[in-house]
Structure 1
Amino acid sequence: MVRFPGHPVPQTLVFDAAIESGKITAITGASGSGKSTLLNLIAGFETPDSGRLRIFGEDATDSPPALRPVSVIFQEHNLFAHLDIATNVGLGISPALKLTSADRARIESALDDVGLAGFAGRLPPTLSGGERQRAAFARALVRNRPLLLLDEPFAALDPALRQDMGELLAALQEKHASTILLVTHHADDVRRLADRVLFLDDGKVALHEEAGTFLQRTEPDVVARFLGARPPAS
């Protein structure tokens, strides 16, 4: 479980939610509602002014990012262009690239899991956008952390690649039983991937419910606009 309780303070972001482990939870809402900030708090890139953060029951509020059981995949794949794919993935195990034979076997296995078997010696500029994002997934896999945070990872991909990467994410979640938090602006991502939805509005958790319940909402409000629904004519 991931829990961040807080207390309302004017002009601040306030999050209070308990997120179920072993599921994919979509974090949605309008731009500026606090989605990326919530992920940054969980990852340890930002520090809360008040409240506590618990990850799988352990207080992680003051833990540095490197000690949290968390991997992060951003919209940008953040691969080093001058390093081959195996080396880029190996950075997830050891930033100093002090890799054992077992580590290299893990890298090969992760590349196979994401459909990049045989790509170990390729450089990022020779890969397509979807292949580079797959490499970013592989780097997260070798870290072997149970909590995966994704901040708009498919935003720069065309619809066909979004579909492919969504299927890959679902397959990896099923294989590894990971807890996944997926920030997205797309209702289709919620529909295809999410078990639950955390909907943020004005820096607060406005809704936290099953994805099916969320997708059935039709009221003429910010949720309906996110889902692409039109309010009834007056």
Structure 2
Amino acid sequence: MPDHEAQRAGLTLSHVKITRGARTLVDINDHVDPGETLTVMGPSGAGKSTLLSYIIGTLDPTFTARGRVLLNGTDITQLAPEQRHVGILFQDELLFPHLSVGENLAFGLRPTVRSRTERKRRIDAALTDIGLTGFADRDPETLSGGQKARVALMRMLLSEPKALLLDEPFSRLDAARRDQIRTLVFAQARSKGLPVLLVTHDHADADAAQGRVHVLNI
């Protein structure tokens, strides 16, 4: 491993190439600094979500991949998904319907946070951080789309990821909520110094990210 990659903070995609049969879907060699966002754009089927699967360690074996993923200088390419410390947000919030809002957030806490008092403190602080003070006992089904998106974001952040992947998480929100959630997500990522990789087909998402853009072509 080159010394500059082993010592570099952020998310490095080192000569990552993903193919299926004879077709190359992804060919990228780039680095995302802490607090920076790299947007990967392309139409459906171009390989955007495939790239995210490779980064988090869930790539379908029907694909062939080479290249390395490094996080803060550590090669995570061969690690199990739960060992990679990479957070991801999807189009759907994926909140647990049988758990309250507070219990959903508690699910994101690291196992090392064992004290009931400390867990409650972190959950209450997280709700305040996203403008949902007092929502701990609410049923997720009573929340609006924007509120669900905020809870999903904070649940992921409570797991203390070292990088954030965004799989078109704004696409199902109406225009007003989309702008609000975009602003919140990117502000949280910058404040926590997280490198962000956003995949989208929406140019407005790329503009809001205020970073470089890598285009995948079919």
TM-score using structure 1 length? 0.79
Segments of structure 1 that go 5 or more residues without pairing to the other structure are 203-234
Alignment match, 2:6: none
Distance across 1 between alignment mates of 2:102 and 2:18:
46
Change (3 A) 1:8 1:158: closer
- Write the deviation string for residues 41-85 of structure 1: whole angstroms up to 9, x where unpaired: 111111653332222221111101100121111111000112101
Which of 154, 157, 170 is the matching residue for 1:154?
Answer: 170
Residue type matched to 1:73 in 2? L
Identity value in percent: 37
Structure 1 letter corresponding to 2:30 = A
Letter of the 2:13 counterpart: R
Tell me which of 148, 155, 159 is aligned to 1:132: 148
Residues in 2 aligned to 1:46 and 1:138: alpha-carbon distance in whole angstroms? 25
Instruction: Select the structure that is richer in strand.
Output: 2
State the 1:166 CA deviation: 1.1
Q: Relative CO higher for 1 or 2, CA cutoff 8 Å, sep ≥ 6?
A: 2
Where does residue 49 of structure 2 map in the other structure? 36
Match for residue 21 of structure 1? 33
Per-residue deviation at 1:4? 3.7
Report the alpha carbon displacement of residue 188 of structure 1 after superposing the two structures with TM: 1.0
Match of 2:86 in 1: 70
Report the secondary structure of 2:38's partner residue: strand
TM-score normalised to structure 2 length = 0.84
Counterpart Cα distance in 1 of 2:95 and 2:31: 30
Q: Which has the larger radius of gyration?
A: 1
Contact 1:39 1:149 in 2 (8 A): yes
Distance in 2 between residues matched to 1:101 and 1:41, nearest whole Å: 37
**Could you say if the C-alpha distance between residues 29 and 50 of structure 1 is closer, same or farther in structure 2, counting changes exceeding 3 Å?**
same
Three-state SS of the structure 2 residue aligned to 1:62 is: coil
Deviation track 1:141-176 (CA, whole Å, cap 9, x = no partner) reads 101112011101011111001011111112212321
Structure 2: gaps of 5 or more residues: 1-10
Runs of at least 4 residues off by over 4 Å: 6-9
Indicate conservation of the 8 Å contact 1:92/1:139, yes or no: yes
1:169 to 185, 200, 206: 185
Could you say what the CA RMSD is over the residues aligned between the two structures, in angstroms?
2.1
Counterpart position of 1:5: 15
Deviation at residue 179 of structure 1 after TM alignment: 1.0
For residues 147 and 117 of structure 1, the distance between their equivalents in structure 2, rounded to whole angstroms, comes to 26
Aligned residue pairs total: 201
**What is the CA distance between 1:6 and its match in structure 2?**
4.2
